[in-house]
Amino acid sequence: MNKRPRADWVTGLAAAIVEQAVVDYEEALQKLKVYSDPASVETIMKRSRKKKDREHAENSRRAYLYHARNRIAECEMFFRGDWFAMLCDLDGELIMQSVRERVESGTKVQDV
């Protein structure tokens, strides 16, 4: 069995953690962008297999917004925190700015 040195897998794990945070941040920003529009209630109603009334769809939209805002706050705390600084030498503020710009332009982080 070929084992990598400890430093390699630790570095890989750190990179995977940061990468997942970027993906989570992007997804949360996209959801916030989509569900901030009150017209997204129609989209929710169309996607559902069950017939939803408008009130239920609006409640779902509010829940999506709530969870997106919480995830954004969690990710921003991570990118500005000590743990992020321990994992890598990147600028968390710059990463957040870049992801926000990509979401606004409609370019997915994975596409870059």
**pLDDT digit string (tens) for 54-92?**
777 788 888 999 999 999 999 999 999 999 999 999 999
Question: Is 112 within the bounds of a domain?
Answer: no
Question: Is 54 within the bounds of a domain?
Answer: yes
Q: How far apart are CA 45 and CA 41, in angstroms?
A: 6
CA atoms within 13 A on the CB side of 26: 20
The total number of structural domains that make up the chain: 1
Question: Is 45 within the bounds of a domain?
Answer: yes
High-pLDDT (> 70) share of the chain, %: 85
Local confidence band at 49 (pLDDT 50, 70, 90 cut-offs):
low
Question: Is 67 within the bounds of a domain?
Answer: yes
Question: Is 10 within the bounds of a domain?
Answer: no
What does pTM read for this prediction?
A: 0.81
Please tell me the predicted confidence (pLDDT) of residue 112.
44
Question: Is 3 within the bounds of a domain?
Answer: no
Provide the CA 10 distance to its chain's centre, in angstroms.
23
Question: Is 1 within the bounds of a domain?
Answer: no
Question: Is 2 within the bounds of a domain?
Answer: no
Domain residue limits at 76? 15-104
Cβ burial, residue 104 (10 Å; 0-12/13-18/19+): exposed
